[in-house]
């Protein structure tokens, strides 16, 4: 990645394919090896001896192109490189065979070979050294007359056991060694996960009362029943009181207003404390334990910013920018002002202490059992900080996962992924047409971007209610859920706003929710008959059952003669599992068209095959490379077919 400046990413158990062009001047034989090893320290040793590495031979593919593979079986970091040299013994052996077949006299050539073997014997030890010396003597003709027969000497020179020994003790003194390259190896959940976001404070059984971690434990079966495996919580820290925002982001609050969870810090503590109304730290740890019993992992929001009441503001004022009057500068995005938030000054004179403290925030929550972090607005913090901090945290906890909430320019999003973020939010929310979706996800699924950037597709967030959901119907929510769950191996919803079809904006043209849960307690009717919870459960069930939906590498878009129908497939490398998705992107009208199917790519072996809709359970028998598709959003906005 970028010439080795950044590591690529893989999942435990992945096969890593390494290819290189390897050549030298002249016509001598070349030997090329792939060396790799798991590295324990954050800084790999560039001068590690060959014995510290595992080695695989690269195989020539033609035209000076070589290839080898290895498997990464441990979390953490791997280092790999290529070592290559001109091998005089391989060259001699190859030429000797041609001379023998041509009937030429081999005496001088055999003596040259004996010298090469003697040199290897001096590099060898023990029995190997003795064996090599014996063969050298035999090939040179220095033994008794019985071994002077050229055919016998030739056979000894071409013996496979000799070649194995010579490779073991090859002369690598003139070897070329590539720079060390790195791989970050993550847990399976880094590549395949289903996220559900909620505000714990909205889950009290008593209307109008602030919810607690204990209340949320009682709600875990609801989330688990929908098949999600990551439960993401917005900041759980004490909420500041100074300049606290009111409902609908009003600049003044009323008595009882709970404020924004992202205005972190009060007299009760900061980033290493929990909001008293949610409970105690032990209650949170009990939540983590209970969640794992439901096969859920808790993801915690980390937002590096402070309310004016945060202990940092009093204890370390040097960590913030100040205005000319000496007061700390609050956050602004002109003309918007965020008086309830103080951003850190990452380049202050005391930056080293600030960086160490912020790293310790991650490590504190790791100690409490958190392994997944959603990081708020990382693109507004220095790249150097993230590259250092994430590497340090991963060194301490290799299975830690970091989701970048970076709705910013593409190159910045991709740079954050290179620096160490495990996953990233995307532009999926704003890609709604056939052309937009096709172009964007073709880009995301291709090397080399796919080697570092893992997209996490969100249908909605507390900050983003796209016009597609505002103006659409129930079908619009179904369409976005199907797209997010099947286009990406990682996806998420902000609920229950999503499954309960919440689509009312604060005002026309806004992507903010009316009566946003960011600023108030909500009361959700989870038993509403129009809820999409059953659909979400079916989608997550299909994702667990279909390996093709668990990775992004083999995403392919297919031609269908309607601008409103989007068709694509995912399959495993061996095509043993194929999922074909067709979606009507228009939530208001039915559309139909002919779908072109790549029978060779699907390895169907014939023109007749079956498909089963994983959402409805219906089965169909198809013939040939064309299929007629009709989708009515009122009854069926999408098909998710398993091709069999």
Out of 186, 309, 405, 517, which one is annotated catalytic? 405
Taking the C-alpha atoms of residue 567 and residue 182, their distance in angstroms, rounded to an integer, is 36
Token pair recorded at residue 446:
């291709």
Query: 583 forms bridges with which residues in the sheet?
Result: 566, 638
Name the burial class of residue 122, with classes exposed (0-12), middle (13-18) and buried (19+) by CB atoms within 10 angstroms of its CB: exposed
Show Cβ contacts of residue 166 under 8 Å, excluding neighbours closer than 6 positions: 89, 116, 117, 120, 132
β-strand pairing of 181-186 with 8-11: parallel
Taking the C-alpha atoms of residue 215 and residue 391, their distance in angstroms, rounded to an integer, is 35
Out of 376, 502, 517, 586, which one is annotated catalytic? 376
For 401, the enclosing helix (H) or strand (E) is strand 401-405
Taking the C-alpha atoms of residue 613 and residue 631, their distance in angstroms, rounded to an integer, is 13
The answer to whether residue 376 is catalytic is yes
Taking the C-alpha atoms of residue 341 and residue 313, their distance in angstroms, rounded to an integer, is 11
Of 261, 243, 263, which is closest to residue 253 (Cα–Cα)?
A: 243
DSSP label at 560?
A: B
Neighbours of 314 (CB within 10 A): 11
Neighbours of 294 (CB within 10 A): 16
Show Cβ contacts of residue 199 under 8 Å, excluding neighbours closer than 6 positions: 211, 233, 234, 261, 462, 517, 522
Show Cβ contacts of residue 449 under 8 Å, excluding neighbours closer than 6 positions: 414, 443
Could you give phi then psi for residue 309, rounded to 5 degrees? -95, 0
Show Cβ contacts of residue 629 under 8 Å, excluding neighbours closer than 6 positions: 560, 565, 567, 582, 592, 593, 594, 595, 639
Output the CA angle 554-556-561, nearest 5 degrees.
Answer: 165
Could you give phi then psi for residue 401, rounded to 5 degrees? -125, 135
SS3 state of residue 314: helix
Q: Are the C-beta atoms of residues 69 and 15 closer than 8 Å to each other?
A: yes
The backbone region for 141, taken as left when phi is positive above 0, alpha when psi lies in -120 to 50, beta otherwise, is left
For 78, the enclosing helix (H) or strand (E) is strand 76-86
Residue with tokens 């004022």: 317
Angle between helices 107-123 and 150-157 (to 10 degrees): 40
The answer to whether residue 21 is catalytic is no
> Known catalytic residues?
376, 405
């Amino acid at each position: 990645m970028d010439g080795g400046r950044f590591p690529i990413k893989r999942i435990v158990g992945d096969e890593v394919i390494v290819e290189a062009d390897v050549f030298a001047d002249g016509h001598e034989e070349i030997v090329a090896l792939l060396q790799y090893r798991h590295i324990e320290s954050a800084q790999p040793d560039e001068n590690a001896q060959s014995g510290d590495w595992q080695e695989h031979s690269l195989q020539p593919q033609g035209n000076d192109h070589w290839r080898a593979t290895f498997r990464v079986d441990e979390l953490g970091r791997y280092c790999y490189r290529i070592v290559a040299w001109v091998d005089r013994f391989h060259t001699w052996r190859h030429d000797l065979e041609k001379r023998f077949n041509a009937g030429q006299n081999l005496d001088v050539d055999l003596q040259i070979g004996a010298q090469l073997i003697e040199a290897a014997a001096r590099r060898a030890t023990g029995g190997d050294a003795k064996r090599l010396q014996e063969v050298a003597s035999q090939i040179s003709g220095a033994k008794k007359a019985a071994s002077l027969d050229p055919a016998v000497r030739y056979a000894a020179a071409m013996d496979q056991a000799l070649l194995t020994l010579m490779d073991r003790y090859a002369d690598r003194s003139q070897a070329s060694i590539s720079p060390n390259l790195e791989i970050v190896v993550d847990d399976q959940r880094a590549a395949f996960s289903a996220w559900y976001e909620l505000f714990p404070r909205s889950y009290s059984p008593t209307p109008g009362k602030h919810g607690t971690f204990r209340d949320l434990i009682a709600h875990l079966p609801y989330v688990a029943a929908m098949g999600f495996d990551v439960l993401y919580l917005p900041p759980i820290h004490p909420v500041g009181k100074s300049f606290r925002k009111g409902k609908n982001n009003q600049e003044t609050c009323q008595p009882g207003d709970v404020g924004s969870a992202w205005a972190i810090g009060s007299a009760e503590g900061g980033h290493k404390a929990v909001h008293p109304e949610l409970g105690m730290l032990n209650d949170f740890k009990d939540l983590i334990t209970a969640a794992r019993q439901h096969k859920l992992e808790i993801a915690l929001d980390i937002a590096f910013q402070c309310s004016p009441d945060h202990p940092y503001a009093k204890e370390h004022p040097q960590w913030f920018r100040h205005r000319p009057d000496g007061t700390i500068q609050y956050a602004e995005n002109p003309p918007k002002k965020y008086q309830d938030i103080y951003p850190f000054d990452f380049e202050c004179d005391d930056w080293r202490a600030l960086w160490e403290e912020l790293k310790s925030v991650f490590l504190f929550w790791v100690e409490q059992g958190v392994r997944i972090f959603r990081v708020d607005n990382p693109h507004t913090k220095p790249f150097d900080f993230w590259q250092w901090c994430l590497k340090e945290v991963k060194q301490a906890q290799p299975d830690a996962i970091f989701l970048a909430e970076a709705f910013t320019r593409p190159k910045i999003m991709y740079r954050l992924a290179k620096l160490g973020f495990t996953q990233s939010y995307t532009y999926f929310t704003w890609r709604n047409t056939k052309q937009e979706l096709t172009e964007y996800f073709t880009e995301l699924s291709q090397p080399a971007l796919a080697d570092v950037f893992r997209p996490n597709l969100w249908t909605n967030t507390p900050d983003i209610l796209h016009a597609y959901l505002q103006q659409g119907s129930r079908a619009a929510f179904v369409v976005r859920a199907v797209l997010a769950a099947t286009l990406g191996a990682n996806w998420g919803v902000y609920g229950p706003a999503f499954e309960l079809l919440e689509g009312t904006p604060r005002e026309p043209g806004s992507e903010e929710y009316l009566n946003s849960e960011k600023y108030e307690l909500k009361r959700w009717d989870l038993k509403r008959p129009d809820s999409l919870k059953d659909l979400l459960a079916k989608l997550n069930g299909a994702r667990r059952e279909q390996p093709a939906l668990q990775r992004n590498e083999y995403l392919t878009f297919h031609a269908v003669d309607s601008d409103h129908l989007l068709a694509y497939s995912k399959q495993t490398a061996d095509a043993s599992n194929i999922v074909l998705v067709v979606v009507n992107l228009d939530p208001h009208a039915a559309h139909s068209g002919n779908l072109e199917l790549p029978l060779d790519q699907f390895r169907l072996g014939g023109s007749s095959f079956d498909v089963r809709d994983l959402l409805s359970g219906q089965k169909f028998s198809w013939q040939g490379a064309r299929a007629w598709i009709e989708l009515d959003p009122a009854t069926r906005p999408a098909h998710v077919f398993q091709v069999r």
